[in-house]
Amino acid sequence: MRKNMRFTIMTTILLILGVGVQNKINAQEWSASQKEVWKGVNDYWAVFAKGDVAGFLEYFHPDYMGWDDNSPLPSTKPEIQKWLQLYMSGRKVLDYEIKPVGIKVYGDFAFADYYSTLSDVDGKKKMEEGRWTDILMKQGGKWLIVGDNGGTNEKKHED
């Protein structure tokens, strides 16, 4: 009886591990449309990291509405512009990384879920980690942000 129980437990563990490995492998196999969306996300993050507020805003649809987890209400594109100008003033991005979690594409609409880390200098070195869902619409061959939801959890690392 004990051997059967041990065999059943070991088999179950191996099956669970096998499914986990398969899911991880599948997550890296993006379709051409998913890769195109992810390239768009990378493109606007690169512009953001350079501190180019005007260039970054070119990736926002005029009817954009997004909701940062730390805000009491959603924001429009003009409100994001004011916030970005304030946020980026006197701030320099040292490094950033974004990691995709999931991308769904429905014709000219897409959802991109990802995890982000951002290092900057604002008098002190800071690391911001966040989770985001960007809602995108393809217009004129470019993926524009029509909405998003997420936020960052700041971790301060002082040297």
CATH number of the structural domain spanning residue 65: 3.10.450.50
Instruction: Based on the fold, state whether residues 47 and 12 are members of the same structural domain.
Output: no
Look up residue 10 and give its two tokens.
Answer: 């070991």
- How many distinct structural domains can be found in the chain? 2
pLDDT in tens, 82-95: 999 998 887 888 88
Instruction: Based on the fold, state whether residues 17 and 70 are members of the same structural domain.
Output: no
Instruction: Based on the fold, state whether residues 140 and 76 are members of the same structural domain.
Output: yes
The mean per-residue pLDDT over the stretch 9-34 comes to 62
Instruction: Based on the fold, state whether residues 105 and 47 are members of the same structural domain.
Output: yes
pLDDT in tens, 59-81: 999 999 999 998 899 999 999 99
Domain range for 3 is: 1-30
